[in-house]
Amino acid sequence: MKKLLTFAAVAALAIAAQAASVSWTSGTIYLPKGGDGTDKGVFGSTKAGSGVVAAYYFVVDATAYGAFDAETAFKDRFDVDDSTGAIALKSGVSASYERTSTGGGAANWASQTINEGQTIYAFAVYTYTDANKQGWYIANKAYATLNVGAASADGAYTNLASSVGSWTAVPEPTTVALLALGLAAVGLKRKVA
């Protein structure tokens, strides 16, 4: 009888405190077609090989999620090495989870437990540097929520890279600096004239 009561109590607790597991997924990631910057980063037909694409997931609050902007999500968190094109997290910035692509062209973060009534918000940023030292990124936002009585979470937490379907080229710092210098010179010339 004690065993039966214990089993009933455990079952009741399990029902009362439901939780689900969320697997945040990138979907299949294809490298930029050509990879030389001339194609505006359109997905090509080559899947990202194992370890080629880095994936970073940042758990954020609802306010940050609502104000998401892909360019800002990237620029606020990453630096680009001018000589190699390598992309790395800025000093003092840490990701909630980091992964790299697998041979199947995906970069997924391990399952995360979400409790009943809870919503988790995140930014997902995928980075890649091609053979020409051109840096690329994909940024997206995601959320998962477990509704009362639900067996699994609802939300936009799948195909976070593949749903974007294209890469954004990272401007080289020297190129941006030269462009700014040129614009300043033009402005100064007009002011003098």
| Residue 169 forms part of a structural domain | yes
Q: What does the pLDDT look like over 38-75, one tens digit per residue?
A: 677 889 888 999 999 999 999 999 999 999 999 999 99
State what percent of residues in the chain have pLDDT above 70: 77
What is the token pair recorded at 147?
Answer: 């509704």
121 SS3 class: strand
| Residue 171 forms part of a structural domain | yes
β-pair type (168-169, 19-22): unpaired
All residues at 6 or more sequence positions from 29 whose CB lies less than 8 Å from its CB, including other chains: 47, 48, 53, 101, 105, 106, 107, 126, 138, 161, 162
Domain around 66: 17-192
All residues at 6 or more sequence positions from 60 whose CB lies less than 8 Å from its CB, including other chains: 121, 122, 123
| Residue 2 forms part of a structural domain | no
Q: Please count the residues of the chain.
A: 193
| Residue 4 forms part of a structural domain | no
* Phi-psi category of residue 171: left, alpha or beta, with phi > 0 → left and psi -120 to 50 → alpha: beta
Return mean pLDDT, the chain: 82
Query: How many whole angstroms separate alpha carbon 154 and alpha carbon 115?
Result: 12
| Residue 40 forms part of a structural domain | yes
- The answer to whether 26 and 164 have CB atoms below 8 angstroms apart is no
Query: How many whole angstroms separate alpha carbon 100 and alpha carbon 109?
Result: 9
| Residue 145 forms part of a structural domain | yes
Q: What does the pLDDT look like over 100-154, one tens digit per residue?
A: 999 899 999 878 888 888 999 999 999 999 888 889 999 999 999 988 877 778 8
**DSSP state letter for 151:** S
74 SS3 class: helix
| Residue 3 forms part of a structural domain | no
| Residue 6 forms part of a structural domain | no
- pTM for the complete prediction? 0.79
Distance, C-alpha 59 to centroid of its chain: 10
Number of domains present in the structure of the chain: 1
User: Residues 36, 39, 40, 45: is their CA dihedral positive or negative?
Assistant: negative
